[in-house]
Structure 1
Amino acid sequence: MSTYYRPDPDLDFLKECSNEDLNILVHVLLYDREGKQRFVVRRLPNHPLYKQHAPNHSLYWEVIAGEIQLYGSNPLAAIARGGRGKHYIKILGDVCDRFDLRYNPNAATEIIERELYSFLFTKSLQRLSKANLEAVSAAFAIKPASMNQLAVNVAITEAMRFDDTIASRVALCVAHGAAMFASNVGYLDQVPEAFRPALEVTEKPLMVEFDTISPINLTGSAHWFMIPVVMQVIYLRTKHLTQS
């Protein structure tokens, strides 16, 4: 029973994620904002393991990972590889390129991911009012030098250097905005009440950033929903690393 998964050290951690962890990732893969199944995604919902075990996602994590590799690549190239997609690090690079983000392609995956979600989070802060910046500061329990976008961003960036939990929460904000943009689902019911304002006020600014994604891409990948999918993978990795 093939999963079409290419062994990938950057996706192997998914086998250690819980069903709850994987739930939004799978939802973003399968459903659009109207709750309709994505017409381009066929293998996962029709796979015997999915049909037998859903929503116990951990039992078919390789099928999920295989879908990420497939839809993050050019379909014709995938056919040439026997139906298998490309490795996650290449997909991540494509996403960074889509946002014109400069990065070191030789850096560790976690470093590139941090640069990406930090970049998007910073962009979202630029769209916030003073009141919303205050809400974000309170949610992150930081005290910026002044209440403006630059000072708040500096304070959070500095906190990330010493606390992986802060970094994971920044990634969570970006993953939430991406999931809302792609599939109208999010993480509000999975976070402490005190942190919810951070998700709520950055949600729309992040959706604006994701709304710049063009439906046309030279790589041929299904990037209009794969970019939000990558954001879920990034958050899950930060959560996994924080807990391990």
Structure 2
Amino acid sequence: MAHLPLREPDEDLIPLLRKASSEDLGILVEYIHKDFNQDLNDVPDFKLHNPRAGEKIYEGDHRIYADDIAAEIQRYGGNSFSNAFRGGKGVPYIEVLRDVADSLKVNYSENSDAATIESQIQLKVLEKAYEKMDDKEKSELLTNLGVSVTNVIPAALPMAALQTTIRMSGFAAYKMAAIIANAVAKILIGRGLTLATSNMMMKGIKMFAGPVGWAITAIWTLVDLAGPAYRVTIPCVIQIAYIRQHAQTHFCPKCESPNTETAKFCQSCGTSLQSEA
């Protein structure tokens, strides 16, 4: 088998993975390889760029076979019986996403786009993590994400305020995606994301790895009852959500802080971003 059957067009997934870094794709590959039924082993490009696939599969250049990674994720979204009638092809990413959202009891509209559903999934994970934080951690999390904090820390995550902040700030959306994806990677594959960002932000991302890790562990307990495919699709969706936010974020050439694509000056150090756009 030269390549896995790819369902095209899948505008929510294929163009995004084709532009992703090898490091970020490598995490997807490791999530897939935690399952015993993966088909990437049949792809020559995978073998070529992962000569020690059973040991350190993140060492290769995963960009070479990005379409096969996309196809594998699509295939996990449909069961094998259904895939047989699709010519071996899986389902569009939006269907994978909706299935994951349903399994986590995430509220979303049928008209919601992929980015919106991904954000709702991230908020669900963050809400679960918030339950295990102490008052200091809650305050630091909200401050880190740009939500104004009062003297009284609410028992429950102020979802409305957080959603408003994220809608208005691509910076907050990126940080939320990075915090969650980093924690999931540390739990499942023993290493975090490769982040090109400021030391201050990196410290903030690492700070919440524990509570987010607890939330993911709790989710796995429920997911195991629903079906093993979710142990692949849920972390993949979380990583893809991070890749999407990373692609939409403009990093300052001086301090490496993330900014929105439309920002003219870095919100951290004031450096002009227009010449870098």
- TM-score in same-fold range (> 0.5): yes
- In structure 2, distance between residues paired with 1:84 and 1:193: 42
Aligned: 1:110 with 2:115? yes
- In structure 2, distance between residues paired with 1:199 and 1:232: 16
Deviates more, 1:231-240 or 1:16-25: 16-25
Contact 2:101/2:107 (<8 A) preserved: yes
Q: What is aligned with 2:239?
A: 232
CA RMSD of aligned residues (A): 2.4
Q: What is aligned with 1:20?
A: 23
Using the TM superposition, give the Cα deviation of residue 137 of structure 1 relative to its aligned residue in structure 2, in angstroms. Answer: 4.0
Q: What is aligned with 1:51?
A: 47
- In structure 2, distance between residues paired with 1:200 and 1:207: 16
- In structure 1, distance between residues paired with 2:108 and 2:185: 24
Aligned ranges 1:24-103 → 2 under 5 Å: 24-31=27-34, 38-41=35-38, 43-54=39-50, 55-103=60-108
The total of aligned residue pairs comes to 235
User: What secondary structure, in the 3-state scheme, does the structure 2 residue paired with 1:211 have?
Assistant: helix
Q: What is aligned with 2:192?
A: 186
* Letter of the 2:18 counterpart: K
Contact 2:145/2:176 (<8 A) preserved: no
- In structure 1, distance between residues paired with 2:61 and 2:107: 38
The structure richer in helix per residue is: 1
Which of these residues, 10, 13, 31, is aligned with residue 12 of structure 2? 10
The higher-RCO structure (CA 8 Å, 6+ apart) is 1
Using the TM superposition, give the Cα deviation of residue 95 of structure 1 relative to its aligned residue in structure 2, in angstroms. Answer: 0.6
Which of these residues, 100, 111, 133, is aligned with residue 138 of structure 2? 133
Identity of aligned residues (%): 25
- TM-score normalised by the chain length of structure 1: 0.84
Contact 2:181/2:242 (<8 A) preserved: yes
Question: Rg larger in 1 or in 2?
Answer: 2
- TM-score normalised by the chain length of structure 2: 0.75
- In structure 2, distance between residues paired with 1:114 and 1:151: 15
Using the TM superposition, give the Cα deviation of residue 161 of structure 1 relative to its aligned residue in structure 2, in angstroms. Answer: 2.4
- In structure 2, distance between residues paired with 1:93 and 1:104: 10
Residues 39, 222 of structure 1: CA spacing in aligned structure 2 closer, same or farther, 3 A cutoff? same
User: What secondary structure, in the 3-state scheme, does the structure 1 residue paired with 2:223 have?
Assistant: coil
Using the TM superposition, give the Cα deviation of residue 28 of structure 1 relative to its aligned residue in structure 2, in angstroms. Answer: 1.7
- In structure 2, distance between residues paired with 1:102 and 1:189: 30
